[in-house]
Chain A
Amino acid sequence: METLLNITIYLPLLGIPLILLSKNENMKKWSALLVTSATFLISLPLMFNFDVVNSGAAQYLTEGGRISSTLDIKYLVGLDGLSLLLFMLTTFMGPIVIISSWNSVAKHLSGYLAMLLLLQTASLGVFASLDLLVFYVFFELSLIPMYFLIGIWGGSDRIRATLKFFIYTLVGSLIMLVGLIYVGYDAGSVMSGVNFTLDWRFLSSDIYQIGLVEQTYLFLAFALAFCIKVPLFPFHTWLPYAHTEAPTAGSVVLAAIMLKMGTYGLIRVCLPLFPNAFMEFAPYMATLAVIGIIYGALVAMVQKDVKKLVAYSSVSHLGFVVLGIFALNTVAVQGAIIQMVNHGLSTGALFLIVGMIYDRRHTRMIKDFGGIAKRMPIFTVMFMIATLASIGLPGLNGFVGEFLILNGSFFSELYDNKVFAILAASGVILAAVYMLWMFQRVMFGPLENEENKKLVDLNAREIGLLVPLVIFMFWIGIHPVNFTKYSENQVTELIITSKEKSLAVLETSKTEDLPEWANSFYGVDEKTESESLMVSTN
C-alpha cells in the first residue's frame, strides 16, 4: 500500500516525458489524461483501505533514511485523517482539469500539460508529507508550475498578476522557512541522537513543547505564510488578480487545491506545534475570518467580471474555513475540513463554468451576457446547482460545511463570544445576494446580444467533466458521513492532545521567567484551572 501512495504522488511526473515524446497534440492530451486518470484510480484503494478508527495515526508510511546521522531530515510520506480527503480531492481533480483545457490551449501545449502534471505531484506531496521540510519543499514546488501557468497561458495582464502571486506567497513561505529551521534545531535538541528534526509525528507529540515566547513568534511566522495562501483578509489581494488572469485550469487548481494548503497548514502545523499561541490568537484570527466573510461577499457583489466575483467569493468562503479551524471543537473543525473539500468542488465547478462561457464568448463581463438560459439549458442547470451549492443550500455540500462551522463556532469555548458565529452567519444572506444577482444578470432576462444568440449548449466533454463534481456536491450534501468519518477520530484526538499540550506548556511556563507581555497574553497565572476543565469536558 505504501508503494501505491508513492506511485500516486509521482505518477503524474511520469506523464511529462510521455507528453514530450508524443508527436501530435491529441496524443499529448490523451497521455496527460491517461496519467491523471490512472493516478486517480490508483489512489482509490488508499481511501478504501484507510483505517478510519485509527485515522490519527499516519498510514501507508514511507520513511526514507536520514540525510545524515545527526540531521533528521528524511523523506516521510503517509496519509492520516487530516490529509486523506484533500489528497483524494487532488487526484480527483486531476483528470477534470486536463479535460477542461482540451480545446482552450492556444500555445505550447506540451509545456502547459507538463506544468499541470508537475502541479499535481507537488500538491499531492504537500498533503502527504509528514516531514515538514519535505512539506515545505512540495509547498514551494507547487508555486512554480502555477507561476508559469498564469504567466504564459494567462490573460492580458498575466505578468503582473503572476509576479504578484509568486512574490507574495513566496515572501510568506520564506518567513515560514526561517521558522522551520528554528523549530528543526529546537526539536533536534530534545530528540535524542540528532540535533535537527522536522518529523511531524515527533513535533506534534506531547514530548516536544515550545515555550510561550517562541510559540508566539513562530505562530506568527507560520500563520502569515498560511494566511497569505488561504488567503485570509487582508492578505487576499493577490487572489483576484491571479484568478482573473489565470487560464481556467489554473484557476480551478488554485481554488480547489492550492488555497487549501493554507488552511491545511493551519491545522497540520500551527495547531499541534504552537497550541498556546493558536488558542490565544484564535479570537484575532476569527475576527479576520469574519471580516473576510462579509468583506469578501460585499466586494464580490459589485464585481463586473464573473471570474473576479467568484474569486472574491472564495475569500468569503475560506473565511468560514478559518473560522471553523480556530473554533477548535470537533464540530467546527470537522466542518472546516469538509468545507475545504466543498469549496474545491463548488468553486472548482464555478471556475470551469466561467471557463466554458469564456471559451464561447471570449468575455467574462456580466454586462455582455443576459438571457443565455434560453440557449443553454444544460449549462443553466449545472450553473444553478453550483451556485446553490456555493450559497449553502441544504441538500448540497456547502450547507454541511457552513452549518457545522457556524454551529461549532457558536459554542466554541475559545471565542466565548457568539458574535463571531452570528456575524459569519450573515454571510449566508450576502452569498445569496451576490450569487443570485450575478446569476440573474448572466442567465436571465431577454436575450438581446447578437453574439449570445449564437451560443451552443454544453457538449459531451463539458457535461462529462461537470457531472462528477455535481454528483459529489449532492453526495456530500446528503450523506456527508461517508466523508467526515475519515477525519473524525483524528480531529477529536488532535484537539484533546493540543489542549493538553497547551496546559503542559503553561505549567512549565510558571517556573520560567517570562517577559511581562507573555505572562499577561497567555494568562499564565490565572487561566490554568478553567482550561483544564475544558479538556475534561470535551
Chain B
Amino acid sequence: MESATALFSLIIALPLLGFLINGLTGLFVESYRNKKQLIGSIASTAVFIPFVIAVYFFINMNAGSEALIYKLFTWMDVGTFSVDVAYRVDQLSVMMTMVVTGVGFLIHIYSMGYMSHDEGYWKFFAYLNLFIFAMLNLVLGNNLLLLFLGWEGVGVCSYLLIGFWYTDMAKSDAAKKAFIYNRIGDFAFLIAMFMVFQTVGSLNFDVILGNLDSFTEGYMVAIGLLMFVGATGKSAQIPLFVWLPDAMAGPTPVSALIHAATMVTSGIYLISRMSPMYAMIPEVMIIISVIGALTAIVAATIAITQNDIKGVLAYSTVSQLGYMFLALGAGGFTAAMFHVVTHAFFKACLFLGSGSVIHAMEHVEHGLHKEGKDVHFDPQDMRFMGGLKKYMPSTYKTFLIATVAIAGIPPLAGFFSKDEVLAMTMNAGFVDGGSWVYMMLWGVGIITAFLTAFYMFRLTLTTFHGSFKLPTKIKEAAGSEKFLHENPWNMTTPLWILAVLAVFGGFLGVPNFIVETFTHEPAHINLLHDWLYKINADYIIEMEHWVEWVLMAVSILIAISGVWLAFRMYNNDQQEESDAKIASRFGGLYSVWKDKYNLDDVYEGLVANPTVKFSDKVLAVFDMKVVDGIVNAIAGTVRLFGSLFRYLQTGVVSSYALAFVIGVIVILYLMIS
C-alpha cells in the first residue's frame, strides 16, 4: 500500500478499530466495562487522529486540486456490475471529514463527563465510534453504494443510540421509528441507484457526473426526485421529519452529534455532491426549495410551543435543515453546505448546553432524593428551570452565544450562512428561467428567521434568566437550588470551543458583494465559495449589489425584532403567561402547532394501523383459511378416492419410507457397480 493510501486508511480504520476494541472487550470482559477513563480515551483518540489526518489532507490541498481516490479493494463484481470500496478526498469531502471528526471529537470528550455514571459507558463509546466510521464512509465514499453503506450505517447507529436506554419502551419505540422512516427514504435511494446504474453502468461519482448527457430527461427528474426523497428521510424533511423530534430520546451527546451536527445533514451532502445533475433539473429544484421552506416554517411554528428544552432544539434542527434544502433548491449548494457547517457548530453547542442543563436538573432531583424527598419532575421541562445563569455561568454564556448565532445576529456564524441561504433563494427568482415562487419562498424564509430568533430567545431566557422555578412549582423542592452547579471541565471545554466556532465560523463565507460594492471588481472573501467551486454547480448571482444590501438589512432587522419581542415576553419569568397570550391570539392555529400538526396521528391512523390490522385480520386469516384451505381441500378430495384403495396400503408412512430407502440403495448399487 502506498504511504498516502495507508495514511488515508487510518481515517476510516481508526474509528472502526476503536469500536471493535471497546465493543468486543466490553462485551466479553466484564471488568473492562468499569475502566471508563481508558474506554473514553481510546474512543476519543480514534476520532482525534483521523481529525488531524484530515487537517493534513486539507493543508495539502487547494481549491483547484483534483480529487484523490484511494481504492482499498473491490466490493462487488458480478456481470456488468462492479463497485469498489474506494474513497474520494476532495474539497467537499475533506471539509465534511473535518467537521465530522472535529465536532465528533469534542462530543466524545463531552460524553466522557456526561455519561460517566452510566453502566453502558463502554457500549456508548463503541457506538459513537461506529457512528463516526459509518459517517466517514458516507462523506468519503467514491460511489453511491459506499455512500449508501455509510447512509444505512449511520441509521443503525442512530437506532442503537436513540434506543440506548432500551428498557424504556418509549425510547426503543423512538429508535424503531427513526429506522423505519429512514428506510422509506432508503427505498427511494435504492431505486435511484438502479436507474443510475442502468443508464451509465457505474455508481462512481466521476462516471455519473461526467455522463449526465446520457440520462433521459425523465430519468434524470426521477433520479433527482428519488434521491431527494431519500434525503427527506435522513435529513428529516416533510413528510418524513416526524422521527427526529422523537429521536431526542437518546442521550444528549447523541442528539448533538447525530441528530444535529452530522447525520441529519447527509441529505444535504448528497444533493450537494450531485449538484451538477440537480442544476439540470429546475423542476426538481423548485420542489426541493418548496419542501425545504415549508419544513422550515412548520418546524419553527412547532418550536414556539414546546416546553421540552431538547424538543425546541429538535424542531429548530428540522427547521434549520429546511433552510439548507431551501438553499439547495435555489442553486445555493455552497450556501447550504455553509449552513451545514455553521449549524454544526452552534447547534452542537446548544445541544451540549442543554445536556449540561439537564445534567444539572437531574442532579437536583438526585439531591432531593438523597434528602428523602420523593420529588419527581421532568428534568428537560423548561418550566421548572429559570435563573440558571447564576449557577451555570459557562453553560449560560456558551448557550447564549450559540443562540445569538442561530438567531442570525451579525457577525456571528448563523448570520452569514442564513443570509446567504436567503440571498440565494431570492437570487433564484432572478436567474434565467427563474421563478417567482422563489421570491415567495424568500418571504417564508424571512418569517422563519423571525420565528427562529423568537423561539430561541424564548428558550434561553426561560432557562437561564429570571428565577429558578422548581421550588415554586413543587413545594417539597424548596431550597433545591443548592444542588445546582456547573459541570466539570470536560463538559464545559467542548462548549467553549464550539461557542468560539459559532462566533467566528461565519467568516468562512462572508459575501463577496460587501467588498465588490466598493471595489467594483470580483472579490474573493467568500472562502467557502472559492473552496467548493469545482464541486458545487451554484447558480450565478444575478442580483444587483443594492438588492443584496437590502436583503441583508431586512434579515438583520428581522432577527433583531425577533430577539426584541422575545425579551419583552420572556425575560422576567413570564413564560407561561406569554405562551397563553400567544395561544389566545392564534387560537386554533396554536393548538395545531402544539399538536405538531397531528402528523404522527395521521401516519399512524392512515398507514401504520390499517396495515397491521389488514395483515392481522385479513392476510393472516386468508393465509390459513384460503391458501392453506385450498391445499387441504385438494388433499381431502384425494384422500376420499384414496380410501377406496385403503386395503392395498398399510397407511403408515414409515413403511413407505423404508421401502423407498431400500429401493434407493438397490438402484445406487446397480448404478455404481
Contacts and interface: CB of A to CB of B under 8 A. Distances in A.
B36 interface: no
Interface residues on B, range: 35 or more
A65 B671 contact: yes
Interface in B118-153: 145, 148-149, 152-153
Contacts of A444: 163, 166-167, 169, 172
A140 interface: yes
Contact of B81 (A298, A371, A407, A425): A407
Interface stretch (B190-198, B259-267, B422-430): B190-198
A163 interface: yes
Interface stretch (B276-284, B381-389, B619-627): B619-627
A299 B620 contact: yes
A299 B81 contact: no
Interface stretch (A102-110, A256-264, A478-486): A478-486
B148 A394 contact: yes
A408 B79 contact: yes
B28 interface: yes
Given A393-B156, A394-B152, A446 B631 contact: no
A440 B79 contact: no
A293 B145 CA distance: 23
B549 interface: no
A73 B159 CA distance: 57
A426 B187 contact: yes
B133 to A, nearest CB: 10
A67 B623 contact: no
User: A-side binding surface: helix, strand, loop or mixed?
Assistant: helix
A448 to B, nearest CB: 10
Interface in B165-200: 166-169, 172-173, 175-176, 179-180, 183-184, 186-187, 190-191, 193-195, 197-198
Interface stretch (A178-186, A360-368, A428-436): A428-436
Given A64-B672, A437-B176, A393 B152 contact: yes
Contacts of B75: 478-481
Contacts of B673: 64-65
B623 A299 contact: yes
Most B Cβ at <10 Å: residue of A144, A234, A394: A394
Nearest to A162: B653
A497 interface: no
Contact of B191 (A137, A335, A425, A484): A425
B76 interface: yes
Contacts of B672: 64-65, 75
Contacts of A295: 619, 623
A478 B137 CA distance: 13
Contact of B194 (A137, A164, A407): A407
A394 B77 contact: no
Interface stretch (A38-46, A212-220, A374-382): A374-382
B606 interface: no
B602 interface: no
A490 to B, nearest CB: 12
A425 B673 CA distance: 51
A237 B180 contact: no
Contact of A432 (B153, B179, B657): B179
B37 interface: no
Interface stretch (B6-14, B563-571, B659-667): B659-667
Interface stretch (B248-256, B361-369, B483-491, B610-618): B610-618
Interface string A320-348: 00000000011100110000000000000
A166 B653 contact: yes
Interface residues on A, range: 35 or more
Nearest to B167: A446
A335 B78 contact: yes
A64 B615 contact: no
A303 B73 CA distance: 41
A168 B631 contact: yes
Nearest to A484: B78
B670 interface: yes
A73 B78 contact: no
A479 B673 CA distance: 44
A334 B180 contact: no
A7 interface: no
Contacts of B1: none
A298 B611 contact: yes
Interface in A439-478: 440, 443-447, 478
Interface of A: 64-65, 67, 73-75, 134, 137, 140-141, 144, 147-148, 163-164, 166-168, 234, 236-238, 295, 298-299, 301-303, 329-331, 334-335, 371, 373-374, 377-378, 381, 388, 393-395, 400, 403-404, 406-408, 410-411, 421-422, 425-426, 428-429, 432-433, 436-437, 440, 443-447, 478-481, 484, 488, 491-492
5 contacts: A141-B660, A148-B654, A298-B611, A302-B619, A408-B81
